[in-house]
Structure 1
Amino acid sequence: MNITPGNAAGLPKISYTVSFPEAQAHYVDVEMNITGLAQPSLDVKMPVWAPGSYLVREFAKNIEAFSVSANGKQVSAPKINKNTWHINTAGLNSVTVKYKVYAFELSVRTSFIDVSHAFLSTTGIFLFPKGMLNQPSTITIKPYKDWNKVSTSLEMVKGDVFTRTAPNYDILYDSPLEIGTQDVFTFDAAGVNYEVAMYGGGNYDKERLKVDMAKIIEAETAVFGENPNKHYTFIVHNKARNGGGLEHLSSTVLGASREGYTNERTYHGFLSLVAHEHFHLWNVKRLRPIALGPFDYDNENYTTNLWIAEGFTAYYQNIILRYADLSNTETFLGDMAGDINTVENQPGAKVQPLSESSFDAWIKSYRPNENSYNTGISYYDKGAVIGMLLDLEIINSTNGKSSLNDVMKYMYNTYYKGLKRGYTDAEFKAGFEKFAGKKLDDFYAKYINGLDAINYDKYLGYAGYKLSDELASTSEPTLGVFTNQRNIITTVVRDGAGWVDGLNVGDQITAIDDTPVTDLNAVIKGKKVGDKIVVTVTRDAQAFKIPVTLQRNNTFKYTITEIPNATPQQLAVRKKWLKL
């Protein structure tokens, strides 16, 4: 769609020009023009975080050569805090702000520029005038050398691929730009035109991707009953090894391994990523916790509901592939067993409640340290497990009439479309209860806000399944530590042998019982549970001998298996759950 940007009467008009005279050095030059001013001063600010990635990243740290001019003269514009410049606009109708941004971190949430392309994650590129987040803006791109394509969800102005417009800053900051010579292909699904922009090459099969991505899109659209976009853009960065994604309102950025598309396991992982990030266009970008919009770009935006926003999306990335016949029952159950294993093998799951994991994302999830394994749990992994449990609970309670899908659609229609706002924790809980036909106070107290052990067999049993632990009958000894290839300890597991007897992260294990160690795992496997050994470590360039009593390795390796002689009720739940 080509549109001409409008401007609210009496308010300033904002435009940007971006150019790349030093692309080889990873810089973008930004010129911001603001006209129609009628105020004595103006603050311009850089966001400190990128929505969808819950960490204050201090994007202003990459700005340099900041200057402001008007009528050919420099204007006073001191920096007054970490991300704000105060411009003296007394007597001025317009100002031009110029600055450079250093961009050399290719991730889904940060910008990267070199001579091959520019990926602009807009929260770290464009300043905004304080108090004007609802103002439209235009962006004119002056491409570097042979760059000839722009991939973004921002609309073109008068058909010019290098001129884009945003109706407000929430849209601008939700619309990254890929600029270069990327490989672009398109397809239609669910009545929407989809563009896929591939940077970095790779062994992908465009025709297969068109078919499989369309299946995912159709299956997800069926959950909510509509696809609210007119067009949608996938930006895919292919590297030797890559992963991760970040959702946006009408686009997403994905990381992929360029030679992984012909490996069925890696390809399955890529399709899961597609399913995850695309599902976010409903869950998070429109159906959202009330704290996540309108955004405060200066501070953390706290919510206890990322287990719904991200965790449920992690659940749906698995079950959507089952709906779309892109994975079979065995693969889906294997994926869910993987989430269960992650949760149950992490000591932090017994320390941090799920709702707290969400609230503390800003200080814990994105800033892990050597003890995070012992103190926290991911709202992705446990949230996915909780999504599965609630799906099974609703299906069983309603004899197959309803499922979690109905809750998601109801909440989307009620809060995003109807009330045009986010939901509270209590409102989503009420949505679950509406379709489950029962109160879920106990479920919340145990599994969302509490630390009770999850009764997996109860919920899996509704569908005629149970958990089986392949390691239940084993008795292998363990030091209770994780090490790298140089036998340097990277994690000491809570209450394990190393924890109890004083091994430290950073210790390099050099000997066991005075025998030099090369293959640590082989040495430990040759011992028995209860054996007392002496571990020699190098710590701060000094040697220490530490007596350690080996414990049993309590790691779980769960699989989801069928219960013999499942009842007709169980088989009916299974059929509804897995769309068999």
Structure 2
Amino acid sequence: MSELSINFSISFKEPQAHYVEIEMVIPQLDGEYIDLKMPVWTPGSYLVREYSRNIENLYATSAGQALQCNKVSKNTWRVAKGNPTEAVKVSYRIYGFEASVRTNFIDADHAFLSPAATFLYVDGLLHYPSQVTVHLPEQWKNISTGLPKLDTTSNTFYADNFDILFDSPLEIGNQDIWYFEAANVKHEFAMVGGGSYNKQQLTSDLTKIIEQETALWGENPNSNYVFITHNYNAGSGGLEHLNSTVLATSRNSYKIEASYKNFLSLAAHEYFHLWNVKRLRPKALGPFNYAEENYTVGLWIMEGFTAYYDNLIIRRCGFFSVKEYLNALANEFNLVYNRAGHRIQSAAQASFDTWIKQYRPDENSINSSISYYNKGAMLAAALDTQIIASTHGKKRLDDVLREAYNTFYKKESRGFEEDEFRQLAEAITGVELGEIFDAAHTTVELDYNSFFNKVGYELVDLNSENRELSLGIRLVEQDGRLFVKNVERSSGAWDAGLNVNDELIAINGNRLDSSGKELDFALVQGQYEEIVDLLIARDGRTRVIYAPLRYCGKQLWNIQPKLDATEEEKVLGKIWLSVVES
């Protein structure tokens, strides 16, 4: 053990009760006290999650003597040092029973430890190396993590600093593990919770994805990588790490073609983050302040570009047909344009406000916000097609990302400002891209067909002539009763004052059944701007609301071949959407 290393020991006395025991040994340090802090968030998931709320029974000793230990803020414990020549030992328990890719989950079957939610750090000493020793219960045999082992026979792992430690989750239990090599990198796949997966098929398909992405970026920065996948009855999600990822899916998704392709897209997304965000990043995203929010307007580039490339990589591997890929891309437009919030919040604003909006949606989110994932993917598609068309297929967005990675990460070892990224993109391609970058900071929409048309495609709203009537509400059924779940901005229900959580009882004097058939009938038989009377119950009291019927604003976007495309445009479209041999 290095004298300057901060060392942790993990044990499980009561995993069935969802607890892990942590022992932390801090070397002799100068000063009268040590401030121990718990991160409030984890990189890649931009929400203050207050991990310290799960800590119990924290106490400290030195040379066998108890030390005074006081909590001085929500996530800080101040330890008054004893003998300054002795190390300080800190012990605490953590409760973990939240099934997600970013939180601790411990039960009798396994433990998933998100390190930011598990390990304290000494204030001011994030640069210190650390070691983690795992004491396996008798019933568990495997440990999966991106951390390297101290030696081949021990269960002790090490990190050169706490940024690496906090970016290296641990899966501990009896997960199904296998190994494969792709892009000259050793990969481990750890499956938790069973499932209908085919190891050979998964290995083959992931190898194609890994080699496609490595070719795009020009190198693979790792010598090893770990896929940790949690299989649930129903679940989804992923979180990227420096040399690993945690994925969540349904254990039956592998046998359903569409679901399996979605899982491959998820894996492609998280693996793409090896470069885009973990290494190529805005200045605000590292080094991190783990005690508070880290603000950036650049998540539309980091997450949005990654959301564009995940499905594009699946197309390049040949897993998606052209139509399947275009449907996936069109879905980004549907998700944005069917939220009135796209007129309220720009991609850059969504990035900045991720800490208070992205992970905390409410009933009005559709009216006030968008996702920088979806909007960023739209802007990335505009950039890619514009570059392809303007350079006659000689350049594309791939070239921009590769050069940005080489410049900002490899050569200059720093994060970038958005203006620098734009300037580099224009210098590499020789294409003026200001219109698209500027669009990330406004709610004024681009004419996306000015980009798609140049590569032989067009974006069409198949519902543009739709004259179906609507109140602009979404209903949910609870115990045979209908309640308002959402009210769309500027709809008839919005203007009339219908509220979320109102119970809808009758329309035009006709009682509604649990399927809402009478409402459907009124919409089919009604006229534009006709006033209907709605009997509702609000907080237990009935009243009548008079609301106008209006045309349904739901859009259905499709990306399809342009009928009058020139031969050059068709060639550029093939470049854009071609399968690439790895």
Aligned to 1:31: 23
TM-score where L is the length of structure 1: 0.97
Q: Which amino acid aligns with 1:493?
A: E
Q: Which amino acid aligns with 2:540?
A: A
Larger mean CA deviation between 466-475 and 258-267 belongs to 466-475
Aligned to 1:557: 556
**Which residue of 68, 76, 84 maps to 1:76?**
68
CA drift at 1:155? 0.6
Aligned to 2:507: 512
- Cα 1:452–1:17 shift into 2, 3 Å: same
Aligned to 1:106: 99
**Which residue of 192, 201, 208 maps to 1:208?**
201
Q: Does 1:393 align with 2:383?
A: no
Larger mean CA deviation between 424-433 and 86-95 belongs to 86-95
Q: Which amino acid aligns with 2:145?
A: T
Conserved in 2, the CA contact under 8 Å of 1:12 and 1:37? Answer: no
Residues in 2 aligned to 1:84 and 1:467: alpha-carbon distance in whole angstroms: 53
- Cα 1:459–1:354 shift into 2, 3 Å: same
Conserved in 1, the CA contact under 8 Å of 2:523 and 2:549? Answer: no
Residues in 2 aligned to 1:212 and 1:160: alpha-carbon distance in whole angstroms: 32
Conserved in 1, the CA contact under 8 Å of 2:216 and 2:398? Answer: yes
Aligned to 1:541: 540
Residues in 2 aligned to 1:12 and 1:39: alpha-carbon distance in whole angstroms: 15
Q: Does 1:63 align with 2:55?
A: yes
Aligned to 1:572: 571
CA drift at 1:381? 0.4
Matched residue SS, 1:194: strand
Conserved in 1, the CA contact under 8 Å of 2:304 and 2:377? Answer: yes
Aligned to 2:349: 356
Conserved in 2, the CA contact under 8 Å of 1:14 and 1:138? Answer: yes
Give unmatched runs, 5+ long, in structure 1. Answer: none
Aligned to 1:310: 303
Q: Deviations over 1:34-82 (max 9, x none)?
A: 1232332111110000000000001000001010011211101111111
Matched residue SS, 1:509: strand
**Which residue of 472, 477, 488 maps to 2:469?**
477
Q: Which amino acid aligns with 1:550?
A: L
Conserved in 2, the CA contact under 8 Å of 1:79 and 1:85? Answer: yes
CA drift at 1:432? 2.2
Aligned to 2:46: 54
Aligned to 1:466: 458
Matched residue SS, 2:253: coil
Aligned to 1:523: 521
Conserved in 2, the CA contact under 8 Å of 1:393 and 1:436? Answer: no
Q: Which amino acid aligns with 1:266?
A: S
Percentage of matched positions with identical amino acids: 43
Aligned to 1:230: 223
Conserved in 2, the CA contact under 8 Å of 1:32 and 1:98? Answer: yes
The alignment's C-alpha RMSD in Å is: 1.3
Aligned to 1:502: 497
Residues in 1 aligned to 2:369 and 2:522: alpha-carbon distance in whole angstroms: 28
Q: Does 1:137 align with 2:155?
A: no
CA drift at 1:161? 5.1
Q: Deviations over 1:343-369 (max 9, x none)?
A: 111110011111111011011111112
Q: Which amino acid aligns with 2:226?
A: T
Aligned positions, number: 571
Q: Which amino acid aligns with 1:188?
A: E
Matched residue SS, 1:157: coil
Q: Which amino acid aligns with 1:559?
A: N
Residues in 2 aligned to 1:17 and 1:109: alpha-carbon distance in whole angstroms: 21
Matched residue SS, 1:108: coil
CA drift at 1:578? 1.1
Larger mean CA deviation between 302-311 and 465-474 belongs to 465-474
TM-score where L is the length of structure 2: 0.96
Q: Does 1:326 align with 2:319?
A: yes
Larger mean CA deviation between 259-268 and 465-474 belongs to 465-474
Residues in 1 aligned to 2:177 and 2:307: alpha-carbon distance in whole angstroms: 27
**Which residue of 169, 181, 200 maps to 2:174?**
181
- Cα 1:13–1:563 shift into 2, 3 Å: closer
Q: Deviations over 1:354-398 (max 9, x none)?
A: 111101101111111211111111000000111101000111111
CA drift at 1:444? 3.0
Conserved in 2, the CA contact under 8 Å of 1:200 and 1:239? Answer: yes
Residues in 1 aligned to 2:428 and 2:370: alpha-carbon distance in whole angstroms: 28
Aligned to 1:20: 12
Matched residue SS, 1:236: strand
Matched residue SS, 1:131: coil
Residues in 2 aligned to 1:144 and 1:508: alpha-carbon distance in whole angstroms: 52
